[in-house]
């Protein structure tokens, strides 16, 4: 999946991905650099719910368990039909 940075460095996460991860406006995300990749992980609040934006945490955030995602199926579900 390919996205371009906006004028202020923002990217848009497709709705299908936001919905599958339970993300909504104000959800806190953790960005990490791994080699030449940017890894974006939802930050979890107590109770394993996606955290809503708040001041930066002082501790390392907990990470979501990894899910197997069929990226081809996801991409085809959000790509415009031709």
Distance CA 5, CA 25 (A): 18
Mean pLDDT of the chain: 76
pLDDT higher than 80, residue 26: yes
| Domain parsing of the chain, residue ranges | 15-75
Overall pTM > 0.75 = no
List b or e across 51-76, with b for residues whose CB sees 16 or more CB atoms inside 10 angstroms.
Answer: beeeeeeeeebeeeeeeeeeeeeeee
User: In the prediction, which pLDDT does 19 show?
Assistant: 87
For 52-61, write each residue's pLDDT tens digit: 555 555 555 5
């Amino acid at each position: 999946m390919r996205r371009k940075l906006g004028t202020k460095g923002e990217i848009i996460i497709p709705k299908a991905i936001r919905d599958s991860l339970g993300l909504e406006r104000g959800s806190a995300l953790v960005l990490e650099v791994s080699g030449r990749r940017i890894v974006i992980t939802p930050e979890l609040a107590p109770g394993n719910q996606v955290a809503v934006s708040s001041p930066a945490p002082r501790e390392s955030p907990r990470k979501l368990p990894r899910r197997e995602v069929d990226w081809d199926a996801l991409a085809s579900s959000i790509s415009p039909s031709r």
